[in-house]
Amino acid sequence: MTKRNLVIRISKETGLIQEDVYAVIQKTLDYITDALIRSKRVEFREFGVFEIRVRKARIGRNPNKPQHVVKIPERRVVKFKPGKKMKTMALTAV
């Protein structure tokens, strides 16, 4: 599902104008991104949790030329942990 699909679906179900729905969705995503940039944890009950984790520095190798060693620096990554409701819905959908 894309952001556009989400906007259209919400607009149809609520009767709101697509521009207004888009503005709310975009502002929500902006606030989530801003919180993650500030290393804050973003939690939606029953949906899941977004948080920043630090991936340690490591050594990488080119599979085609294993003698070439590449140092991969430490970096921050976004991790998502699904909530209880999402886990059970995902398991029953299969």
The CA–CA distances, whole Å, from 51 to 25, 34, 41, 45, 90 equal: 20, 12, 5, 14, 21
Q: How does pLDDT run across 32-44, given as a tens digit for each residue? A: 999 999 999 999 9
Q: What is the pLDDT of residue 88?
A: 84
Pair 47, 83: CB distance under 8 Å: yes
Q: How does pLDDT run across 52-71, given as a tens digit for each residue? A: 999 999 999 888 888 888 89
Q: Is the pLDDT of residue 94 over 70?
A: no
In percent, the amount of the chain with pLDDT more than 90 equals 74
